[in-house]
Every structure is written in C-alpha cells, then in structure tokens.
Structure 1
Amino acid sequence: MTVPVRFAALGDSLTEGVGAPAADGWHGWAALLAPALAAEPVGCRLRNLATSGVLAADLPAAQLPSALAFQPHFAAVLAGGNDTLRAGFELRRTALALDTTLRELSCSGAVLLTACLPDPGALLGLPSPLARPLARRMAAVNAVVHGLSRRHGAVHLHLADLPWRTDRALLSADRLHPSPSGHLLIAREFHTLLTAAGHHLGSPPAAVAAPPAPSRAADLWWLATRGTAWVARRSVDLLPGLLALAAAETRQRLRGAGAELDARSAAVTEEVLAELGGGPPSGDGGRPAVVSLPRSPSGRAAKLYLAE
C-alpha cells in the first residue's frame, strides 16, 4: 500500500475518546490505534466521526456518509450502549441501523472493527431493580453485535470481557468511560486481533502517561459536580422508562417469575437475529457462543445460545 492508511471511527463517546483528555479534546483508543495501523513510512489518517450520546439509529445518516466518502481501509463501528439507556429502546431498530452501517462499510472494502460493550448498570453499581433491565438490554445488543460481526466478517473485540470492574485504573472517574489506561488497552487489543487476522501493521500502540486510578474522593467529587449533571441530562428521557422497568422487575420478582423477563428478552433477540438473516455466530474455537442474561430470583440464568 503506497498511500496513507485511512481509518474511520464511528460510534459514541467511547470511540470519541471520552475519559482520555488531551490538549485538543480527547485522545482515546481510536487515536492511539491509528498510528499503529500502518507500517512506516506510509502513515495513517484518522477520521473520528464518533460523538457523545449518539444512538445506533443515528449512524446511517449522521456518520456513515462521511465515513464512506473518506474511503477507509479500516472502519470501526462501536455503538448501541446509549440505546440501552433510552426509554424508547427497541432492539430491532438498533440492529437494523448497525446492520446497514456495517454492510455499507464492508461493501466499500473496509476492514471492519466491532466490539461488544460492558453493562453500564454494573459499571455504575446500580441497585438490582435498575441494573437488571439494563443488563438484559446490553446482553441483547451484544448478541446482535456478535451476530452482525460474523455476518460481515468483522474483527471483533470482546471488550465487555476486559477487567473493567476488577481493575479500577481502567475506568475514569465517571465509571462509564475508560481512563487513558483503559483506552490504551482497547487499542492494543484491537492491534493484537488485527495482527492475528493477518494484517500487516506497525508496532503496537505505545504506552500513554496515565494518571493513577481515581480515588474514592475523586469519584464522589465527579458525582457531586459533573455526575449530577450527567444524571439530570438523562433523567428526562431515561429515568421514567427505567423506573417503569424497575417496577415491572420488582413485581416479577415478588411473583417469583423474574426468569420470564429474561426468557422474553432472549426470545426477542433470537427473532431479531433470525430476521437479519445472518445466522448466529459461533464462539471461540468452534464452541457455541453464549450470552448470559441476569440471574432470576430463583437463581436460574436465562442464556441465549448462539450456536450453529
């Protein structure tokens, strides 16, 4: 390749780089990965189209046209997390938007990068009646992303499996976005996967000067200042729907029928995957991939098996 490698990054605040501040804005995982996508002296041009708060349904109109015009050699599509935080969450709409975006980029010849995302309720430590509906939604979105990644031949990172909850240094003070160390981990994981897939890249992303893990005092300060505003901005749309979900969750648990919600979510997810027509993805090493939904009050866990 004699021209600079072109890398387009689509998605939300995770890909925008929130959590890794720089003099000119953010310097997140996409910015760290870009220089490593090409061996010297070719170099790489990054067009980061990701914006905070974007929904999957926004991608085809808001980011995809610019990405296609850029004619990228590599294109990352990481979205869907914000969808789970909206009162009007609808898995089919999320899935169709992701499918359209990935299909168009794949047809343009770009190498696709995708990732499944961690559960925001677990990262924030929300109480069970609030956390379980979000976990259920995130499991459904991730199942769809797994299926679409296989359908479109994407290089897929199991980002949700990285140690976000056990290594506090990987998260910024808001507990939702990676810290500089977390962004570096994502960049290096993508580099490893691309290299294993046979792509000729440059050296792995270099280490960044990362601050120490936020202290408890820093967490509380963020919550009292920026965190309160973050919750308030989302309360208008999210909180009423989330409270309704929590109420339904509580009623089901009192009836001892919490597993019904898990089973219903799994059934809808299977239907959406079938409608997309891409077939379910297989797990690593030929093992069936399994998406575990939150445990019911009876201790049973509904699982969506995505085996061939």
Structure 2
Amino acid sequence: MTFARYVALGDSQTEGLGDGNELDGYRGWADRLAERLAGDNPGLGYANLAVRGKLAAEVHAEQLAPALALRPDLATVMAGMNDLIRGGFDAARVVGHIEAMFAELTGAGATVVTVTFPDIGKITPLATPLRSRVLDLNARIIAAAARHDVLVVDTYPHAVTTDDRLWSADRLHVSPLGHARITSAVAKALSLPGDHEDWTRPLPLLPRRTPWQATVTELRWLASFAGPWLYRRVRGRSSGDGRVAKRPELAPVTVSAHGPGGRHPE
C-alpha cells in the first residue's frame, strides 16, 4: 500500500511519551511509522492529533472532526487505556466511541489500523485485577474492527509485550524499544514493503530478580509514579489538561538519523 496523508489519533502512546522528553519533544511509534512510510513516499503528509491523558470519548469528540478535515488515506486509532484504569469503566461505552471513529474514518475512504492492549497485570502486579477489563475491551475492539474492515495489531497474545524492557519506568508508556516494536507491528499489518523484523520475537532472558529486589522495585514505582497519578485523579486533573496536539496539520516528514522507522537496537 502507498499513502499520501497519514493522521494519528489517540492518547499518550500515540503522542509518543516514553520516547523522548519534554525538552526535546517526543517521537513515538506513530512518528516512526510516518518516517517508514516517507522512506517510500517522500511526499507523505503526516499529522498527529494525539494528546496524553485523553479518554476515548475525548479522542472521539476532539480529534475525529479535525482528522476527517485532513482527508487521510491512512489513520491509526489507539484509545481506551485511560478509561480502563479509572473507576466506572464501561467497555461497551468506550468501544462505542472507538467504533464511531472506525466508521467515520473508513467511510471517508481511509485505511484504519488499531491496536489492542497487553496483559497489564504482567507489567504491573497491582493491575492484575484489571485483567478481565483488558480482555473485555480487546474483544470488543476486535469485533468493532471486523465490522468496519479495520486492521488490528493484537498485542495481548504475545509475551514480549509485557517484557519490562518494552516499558518505561512509569509502566504506563512504552519505551523507545516498545515504540519501535509497535511501529514494526503496524507496518506488518499494513504489509508495507521492506524487511520487517518480527515484532513478537522475545528478548534475551535476564537474570531473575530476587524477592527483595522485586519488592524494592514495586515500592519505588508506587512512590514515584502510582502515587502522583492517584493524586491527580483525586484532584480531578489529567496530564493532558491545557495541552494541544503536537502536529495538528499535515506536514512533510523528516526521516530520523536512525533510518526509516528508527529501529531501536535490541
């Protein structure tokens, strides 16, 4: 497939958190995918409307209309995790918003790709009770995608998607390596030309942590990341408050020094 206009919709993963920093900016899997696409089509226009912290309803309400106005022939939609980790989660309502985006984008002629979620209980043990939510959400996303001929990258069945090395220290956002794997997964789903690495390939085994090391790691995570996140929730605040999309208009893509797609060394 060749594309002229790629628009990415979503939250922090699509914005690129975990792959860069606040000072220099974030790259992320969608930027990497745009670079890979531009390697074969230098005239590609790319917009990234994703904003961290957004719920599926907010992605739908705030990003769909601007995306349609850009007339994409390729769109990616990744949303739902911010809903899943909050109280009052309703998978049917969340996927209703996601499916509405699928319907509008495919109806406008775009090829659409979406991504399901991994077993977050294996990433963060305290999130194990949310496993049933992940399974419910994923099943509904896959069913909605089938109804609208949307391509799906299904992460849940693959053990590597819960490997610590694919995740940042906050365990909410994937690392540069994780972003590179998502890029490869979406490229494969799109059957893009080129040599695609196997994004499901396990990483080399690491020495097993002792119980003491595991306990210290969990305590540090609670103090550094879980605590501040809960504090924002109590105050009714979101990490996306006051933020706007980093790339709201279609613009040419500059290919990174890492090469198209910016593969991360493993």
The TM-score bracket by the shorter chain reads 0.7 to 0.9
Q: Using the alignment, how far apart are the partners of 1:105 and 1:17 within structure 2?
A: 22
- Residue identity matched to 1:146: I
Question: Would you say the 8 A contact 2:155–2:161 is kept in 1?
Answer: no
1:145 aligns with 2:144: no
DSSP-derived class of the 2:45 partner:
strand
Counterparts of 1:76-95 in structure 2, within 5 Å, are 76-95=76-95
DSSP-derived class of the 1:112 partner:
strand
Distance 1:39 1:25, change over 3 A: closer
Which residue of the partner structure matches residue 161 of structure 2?
164
Q: Using the alignment, how far apart are the partners of 1:48 and 1:161 within structure 2?
A: 28
DSSP-derived class of the 1:161 partner:
coil
Counterparts of 1:1-308 in structure 2, within 5 Å, are 5-22=4-21, 24-126=24-126, 131-132=128-129, 134-162=130-158, 163-165=160-162, 167-195=163-191, 201=193, 223-235=222-234
Report the alpha carbon displacement of residue 17 of structure 1 after superposing the two structures with TM. Answer: 1.0
Question: Would you say the 8 A contact 2:5–2:74 is kept in 1?
Answer: yes
DSSP-derived class of the 2:137 partner:
helix
Q: Deviations over 1:18-47 (max 9, x none)?
A: 111155421110011112124535342221
Q: Using the alignment, how far apart are the partners of 2:220 and 2:86 within structure 1?
A: 26
- Count, aligned residues: 220
Distance 1:156 1:236, change over 3 A: same
Q: Using the alignment, how far apart are the partners of 1:235 and 1:164 within structure 2?
A: 30
Q: Using the alignment, how far apart are the partners of 2:20 and 2:39 within structure 1?
A: 26
Higher helix share: 1
Q: Deviations over 1:136-179 (max 9, x none)?
A: 111111111010111111111012234133x3211111122110
Question: Would you say the 8 A contact 1:78–1:114 is kept in 2?
Answer: yes
- Residue identity matched to 1:51: V
Q: Using the alignment, how far apart are the partners of 2:10 and 2:166 within structure 1?
A: 20
Name which structure has the greater RCO, CA cutoff 8 Å, separation 6+. 2
- Residue identity matched to 2:156: A
Where do 5+ consecutive residues of structure 1 fail to align? 206-212, 238-308
Instruction: Flag the structure with larger Rg.
Output: 1
The TM-score with structure 1 as length reference comes to 0.64
Structural RMSD (CA):
2.9
Q: Deviations over 1:84-120 (max 9, x none)?
A: 1122212221121111111000011111001111233
The TM-score with structure 2 as length reference comes to 0.73
Report the alpha carbon displacement of residue 15 of structure 1 after superposing the two structures with TM. Answer: 1.1
Q: Using the alignment, how far apart are the partners of 1:185 and 1:41 within structure 2?
A: 22
Q: Using the alignment, how far apart are the partners of 1:235 and 1:182 within structure 2?
A: 30
Report the alpha carbon displacement of residue 8 of structure 1 after superposing the two structures with TM. Answer: 0.9
Q: Using the alignment, how far apart are the partners of 1:32 and 1:70 within structure 2?
A: 20
Higher mean C-alpha deviation, range 41-50 or range 13-22: 41-50
User: Which consecutive aligned stretches of 4+ in structure 1 deviate over 4 angstroms post-superposition?
Assistant: 201-205, 215-223
Report the alpha carbon displacement of residue 59 of structure 1 after superposing the two structures with TM. Answer: 2.3
Q: Using the alignment, how far apart are the partners of 2:119 and 2:50 within structure 1?
A: 20
- Residue identity matched to 1:137: R
